[in-house]
């Protein structure tokens, strides 16, 4: 019995070790299953993040393009504003010159008016009216042109 008993004990020890290994393998297998689930989740998230990365890159390109256009528009607007400011300055200068010329003309007209008034006070008031001169011209219509010219010289206001 000792041989049989020894074999039984050895088999029991082997059975116990194998049962223990099986339990550990099952634990490891459960961990592997959990790790596979986690890996699947991580892979799914990774795919989503890659898709989002592609979208963000595309949006970034679009925004960069818009930004370049806006910068160009800003430069164009600055140039246009500078041109308009230069035009306004020229127009203001021209307007100022025109105002100055008008003012000078008004002063000159005032001076001319005063001069005419002074001269008119020096001229005698007695004059033949234009109707009497016209009448004398009609009456003397047979006169020679020299006579008519001499009458004009007498009455320059006609």
Q: What is the pLDDT at residue 117?
A: 78
Q: Is 82 within a domain?
A: yes
Domain assignment of residue 158, yes or no = no
Number of domains making up the chain: 1
Tokens, residue 23: 């339990």
Domain containing residue 102:
2-118
Residues 6+ apart with CB under 8 A from 106: none
Distance CA 24, CA 15 (A): 14
Which of the pair, 127 or 3, is modelled with greater confidence? 3
Does 130 map to a domain?
no
pLDDT higher than 80, residue 154: no
Share of the chain above pLDDT 90, in %: 59
Reply yes or no on whether the pLDDT at 40 is more than 80. yes
| Per-position DSSP letters for 72-126, written without gaps between them | HHHHHHHHHHHHHHHHHHHHHHHHHHHHHHHHHHHHHHHHHHHHHHHHHHHS-S-
Task: Kindly state whether residue 128 falls inside one of the protein's structural domains.
Answer: no
In this prediction, residues 91-95 reach a mean pLDDT of 94
Residues in the chain: 158
């Amino acid at each position: 019995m000792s041989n049989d008993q020894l074999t039984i004990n050895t088999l029991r020890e082997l059975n116990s070790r194998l049962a223990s290994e099986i339990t550990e393998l099952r634990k490891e297998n459960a961990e592997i299953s959990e790790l596979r689930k986690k890996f699947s989740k991580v892979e799914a998230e990774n795919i989503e993040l890659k898709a989002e990365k592609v979208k963000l890159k595309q949006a970034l390109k679009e925004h960069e393009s818009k930004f370049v256009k806006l910068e160009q528009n800003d430069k164009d607007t600055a140039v246009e504003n500078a041109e308009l400011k230069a035009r306004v300055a020229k127009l203001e200068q021209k307007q100022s010159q025109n105002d100055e010329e008008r003012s000078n003309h008004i002063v000159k007209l005032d001076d001319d008016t005063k001069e005419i008034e002074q001269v008119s006070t020096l001229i005698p008031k007695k004059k033949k009216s234009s109707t009497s001169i016209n009448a004398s011209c009609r009456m003397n219509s047979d006169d020679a042109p020299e006579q008519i010219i001499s009458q004009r010289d007498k009455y320059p206001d006609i």
